Chain A
Amino acid sequence: MLTRRTLLTLTAASPILGSAAFLSSPARAATPKGVIVMAKQIDDLVSGFDPAEAYDITNLEVVPNLYRGLVMPDAADNTKVVGDLAKSWTVSPDGTTFTFKLKTDIKFASGKAVTAEDAAFSFRRAVKLNKLPAFILTQFGFAKDNVETLITAPDNETLVMKLPAPVAPTFLLFCLTAPVGGVVEKATALAHEVDGDMGNGWLKLHSAGAGGYQMVEWVASDHLTLDANPHHGTPNQPRRIFMRHVPDPSAQLLMLQKGDADIARNLTPDLLKKVREDKSMTIVSAGQAVSVYIAMNQAVPALQKVEVRQALKWAIDYDGIATNITPNMFSVAQGFLPPGLPGGLTDRLFKKDVAKAKQLLAAAGYPDGFDVTLEVPSSAPYADIGQAVQADLAAVGIRVKLVTGEMRQVMTKTRQRSHELALMPWGTDYFDPYSNSQTFCENPNDGDDTKLKTMAWRSHYVDKELNDMSVAASKELDTDKRMAMYRDMQLKFADRAPFVMMLQKIASAVMAKGVSGFTIGPQTGFTQYADIRKA
């Protein structure tokens, strides 16, 4: 969604304003006490706030503040999950039956206690509605016609999930931390049911959860208001969260300085640099599970040669791009699992080495390089990254013709498999290694009739060994063994797969003076508004 902003040349004016803003010493007029005002670009909200449907950027952060799930990622150790609504759970030795015991003292915003039946209803509901995020649950074998018997609540405190086939326990648990695992109050959802939608229409704009907040109002491209859930039990949590849609990053900084906003969410790298000089504000940032990669379509003869694929990986100046084009925005990450995600790869496998790349090209039979097109989204920073890649590849003899287009245009093209090279971002679907390992490694049927149109499929990449390893890792019951498998896979992948994994997104937010407790994690669910404090 950055296209529009760059298009409007606002960014061109940002540095001027950013520097100028710091010449001033504006008196801070405080936002109302107990109200946290957040300046953020929130025009991405397309799918509303129903946990069974939410799948944009902002609502994936908001939904975990409205609803609680059975388990949540452990903030201290990303590779573990801890109980949220559940106080404990057991997994049958064969890895097919998960039994959760629920805490009994947790209440919905309505004041009613959260029961196992509410949880069972929520999972069945998400499966039956079958909206965008439903696959996170249905990939375990749940379907419309079996979910009633597979997910049950024998009593108020016990929830039993039976899986048709065994899976790695961590796989299921990590998937349950996704917003689609949010528990909805059954009675409220059904009270608002229209034409059998299980309250989906109503829940797009309202909430019925046990999270720290409840929905008050959403006006698209304007604002979002959340009020504290009186039964949440966090002392001193902000009474209200007011998110204002502020498309211009410079205006966000101004609001922060003038005291009209407590937290700014979309400051550009140059503005962040200025903020760093101002000691009164606090910057929080974290690497996120969003990767930037170049896909090499295997329909292109030159790219079928493994040496050519390796040459591309050795030709690119990763550090140059990260420091010069995307400081504070993207950092180097070369595995298909970015750091922060369980199994994330921190190793540096490639760096710019022109001689080596040339040697590999010669070995592949292309001593004079070849011509190829690279599809690049026109928005910042992708267009600039594309140009840097073009220059890097030119240095080893590969003549790249850049084809820039709107993000969705590039998306459409790669989904039709009509690209040669394509530079794209990819955000992981859920907080488990399998999301990325499946999409980058699995392609059991390369035909147009397949049900599984993964990233690998889009680039005609068929690798039986990696495909089978990915499937096996998703079923590995031993967690340590499982993580070791992902490491092994990523090294093999780096060596031969037609994907250059380049960068990982860093999300940053700035808190005004006196504001604390706002956190960002690798997954949106880490951000809990109830922890924010204002002096």
Chain B
Amino acid sequence: MIKLGATASSLAITLFGLVVVTFFIGRVIPIDPVIAILGDHARPELVDRLRAELALDQPLTTQFWLYLGKLVQGDLGRSVMTSNPVLDDIRLYFPATVELGTTAMILSTLIGVPLGVISAVRRNSRIDQVARVVSLFGHSLPIPVLGLVSLLLFYAWLGWSPGTGRLGVAYVGLIPAVTGFLTVDALIAGDLEVFWDALAHLILPAAVLAYFSMAYISRMTRAFMIEALSGEYVITARAKGLSAARVIWRHAFGNIAVRLVTVLALTYAGLLEGAVVTEMIFSWPGIGQYLTVSLMNADMNAVIGATLVVGSVYMVMNMLADIVYRVLDPRV
């Protein structure tokens, strides 16, 4: 119980720190937020009016307490870019990122972990070489190139994948938004046609993202496994005459699971932060694109709001990893 309380308070402190840093960075950048909103053509009287409306004419500390006061009431302010409350925007864009990131995470874990294990077990075999080349590519290819080339190959040439966006033109707006995950919403609405279209749009960008995380996951798994397989307990297990599969999966893999969970959790958190470039190439309206466009527009309410979401995601993932440790490792 004490531990939980401590976790909660450290979470609150970290979030507060995040708000402070983001808020003050937003105020010291050499861009006048009023001009960012109104553009170069605004007349002085309008500029003054908006400056007062946004309380930008107040001292910095006053501005901060005003913002904080609203924040604790759950009011993140309004985005000037979309003219919606920031919270509504996050509700709209974050599910798109979660849907994409989760799909990518599932793909990369399902492929990356077994690939890493096999590479480690069959070290320096042909399959290991292939796996290493594949993951090296994943690490070194810039994502714009991979994204554009995959779009060219699977969309333009082979026609296996639909184009960019989350849905085909004909399906936009057909099903009510419940969760914000289009595939889930389509199933809730019982509309299989929309479901398949949403899924088809999801696969290519998810695969591009997954390739990168898969490369990382498989390399880490391989390294952990090689170390584990040379452990004395593994030799003991082998000497006892246990089957190869049991030695690998139960004894060696069981021991690396805790470390692997950290890798997976942070990879997942990274994916949920929104992959700006992938989102751009695939016209995916996710949180990464939202954050970047807001930043470019000096739309600070939106930036702080989205940063808080990303920060919270990291913290929640860390906490989840902590909990999983306890399940996997009785000593913790």
Chain A residues at the B interface, C-beta cutoff of 8 Å: 1, 3-5, 8-10, 12-13, 16-17, 20-21, 24, 26-27, 31-32, 35, 37, 43, 46-48, 55-56, 130-132, 135, 204, 216-217, 219-223, 225, 242, 244-248, 250-251, 254-255, 257-258, 260, 405-406, 408-409, 411-413, 415, 424, 426-427, 429, 450-451, 453
Contact = CB atoms under 8 A, between A and B. Distances in A.
Contacts of A247: 280, 283, 289
B285 A245 contact: yes
A20 B83 contact: no
A188 B147 CA distance: 46
B170 interface: yes
Nearest to A53: B83
A8 B148 CA distance: 13
B184 to A, nearest CB: 18
Contact of B31 (A43, A254, A257, A408): A408
A225 B285 CA distance: 16
Contacts of B87: none
Contacts of B280: 5, 8, 10, 247-248
Contact of A251 (B36, B151, B290): B151
Interface stretch (B67-75, B131-139, B159-167, B220-228): B159-167
Nearest to A439: B41
Nearest to B290: A221
Contact of B169 (A55, A260, A413): A260
B95 to A, nearest CB: 13
Q: Which 5 A-B pairs have the closest CB atoms?
A: A220-B82, A222-B285, A412-B32, A260-B163, A408-B31
A30 to B, nearest CB: 11
A58 to B, nearest CB: 13
B38 A1 contact: no
A250 B277 CA distance: 14
Contacts, number: 160
Contact of B80 (A37, A46, A260): A46
B35 A408 contact: yes
A376 to B, nearest CB: 15
A55 B41 contact: yes
A245 B84 CA distance: 18
Nearest to B295: A4
Interface residues of B, number: 58
B84 A258 contact: no
A345 to B, nearest CB: 22
A13 B148 contact: yes
Given A132-B38, A255-B163, A451 B148 contact: no
A219 B92 contact: yes
B298 interface: yes
B173 A217 contact: yes
Contacts of B157: 24, 26
B169 A32 contact: yes
Given A217-B173, A242-B169, A251-B281, 4 more contacts: A10-B277, A221-B82, A412-B35, A429-B41
Nearest to A130: B46
B162 to A, nearest CB: 8
Nearest to B80: A46
A223 B35 contact: no
B29, B92, B280 interface centre (most CB from chain A within 10 Å):
B280
A132 B142 contact: no
A451 B45 contact: yes
Given A245-B283, A251-B151, A4 B292 contact: yes
A227 to B, nearest CB: 11
Nearest to A20: B152
B64 interface: no
Nearest to B41: A429
B165 A244 contact: yes
B296 A246 contact: no
A254 B204 CA distance: 15
B244 interface: no
Interface in B8-44: 29-32, 35-44
Most buried by B among A245, A247, A405, A424: A247
Residue of B37, B142, B165, B283 contacting most chain A CB atoms (<10 Å) = B283
A10 B289 CA distance: 14
Report which residue of B156, B162, B289 has the largest number of chain A beta carbons within 10 angstroms of its beta carbon: B156
B164 A251 contact: yes
A531 to B, nearest CB: 21
A259 B145 CA distance: 23
Contacts of A409: 29-31
A424 to B, nearest CB: 8
A13 B145 contact: yes
B32 A223 contact: no
Contact of A242 (B151, B172, B276): B172
Contact of A43 (B148, B164, B293): B293
A225 B170 CA distance: 11
A86 to B, nearest CB: 27
Contacts of B166: 222
Interface string B96-118: 00000000000000000000000
A258 B168 CA distance: 13
B91 to A, nearest CB: 12
B84 A220 contact: yes
Nearest to A10: B144
A204 B84 CA distance: 11
A4 B296 contact: yes
Contacts of A427: 41
A12 B40 CA distance: 29
Given A10-B144, A405-B30, A221 B277 contact: no
Nearest to B92: A219
A4 B295 CA distance: 10
Given A24-B156, A32-B169, A135 B285 contact: no
A17 B164 contact: no
21 contacts: A8-B277, A13-B145, A24-B156, A26-B159, A31-B169, A46-B81, A46-B297, A47-B83, A56-B39, A132-B38, A220-B84, A220-B285, A244-B165, A247-B289, A251-B148, A251-B164, A251-B283, A260-B163, A406-B296, A408-B32, A453-B44
Nearest to B146: A13
B144 A13 contact: yes
A425 B40 CA distance: 10
A262 to B, nearest CB: 10
B81 A220 contact: yes
A408 B298 contact: yes
A412 B151 contact: no
Contacts of B181: none
Nearest to A449: B44
Interface centre among A26, A220, A225, A406 (most CB of B within 10 A): A220
Interface in B287-328: 289-290, 292-293, 296-298
Contacts of B164: 244, 246, 251, 255
A47 B83 CA distance: 7
B89 interface: yes
Contacts of B84: 220
B163 A426 contact: no
B167 to A, nearest CB: 9
A24 B154 CA distance: 12
B253 interface: no
Contacts of A451: 43-45
B218 to A, nearest CB: 26
B89 to A, nearest CB: 7
Contacts of B170: 32, 35
Name, among A16, A27, A246, the residue most crowded by chain B CB atoms within 10 Å (CB to CB): A246
Report which residue of A12, A221, A246 has the largest number of chain B beta carbons within 10 angstroms of its beta carbon. A221
B152 A254 contact: yes
Contacts of A408: 31-32, 35-36, 297-298
Nearest to A11: B144
Nearest to B89: A220
